[in-house]
Amino acid sequence: MSGYDIFAWIVLVILLASAIGVFCIAGWLPGHIAKSRNHPYAQAVTVAGWITLLFGFALWPIALIWAYVDVPQRRSGAV
C-alpha cells in the first residue's frame, strides 16, 4: 500500500464517522428540544424524530417543528 492509499482510507473512515454522527444528532435533536421545552408529548416527538429519519427523512422537519409547538393548556372553567 502506498501513502495515498492509507490517506484515502483515513479520509473514508473520518467521513463515515462524521456521517454516522450527523445522523445520530439529527435523530436525537427533536426529542431533546421537546424535553428541554417541557413539551407534553416529548416522548412522542422523540419517537417521531427517529422514525421519520429512518424511513425517508421527508417528514423529519415536521417532527422538529412539533418539538417547538406548544400545546395550549385547557382552561379550568371551559366546557
- For 70, residues 6+ apart whose C-beta sits below 8 A from its C-beta are 37, 39
Q: How many Å separate Cα 7 from the centre of its chain?
A: 31
Share of the chain above pLDDT 90, in %: 73
Q: Is 17 a member of any domain?
A: no
pLDDT at 23: 94
How do residues 45-57 score in pLDDT, each as one tens digit? 999 999 998 898 8
Q: Please report, as a single letter, which amino acid is at residue 79.
A: V
pLDDT at 11: 97
Domain count, the chain: 1
DSSP string, 11-31: HHHHHHHHHHHHHHHHHHHHH
Q: Is 26 a member of any domain?
A: yes
Q: Is 45 a member of any domain?
A: yes
Residue 3: is its pLDDT beyond 90? no
Residue 32 lies in domain? 22-70
Q: Is 79 a member of any domain?
A: no
Q: Is 40 a member of any domain?
A: yes
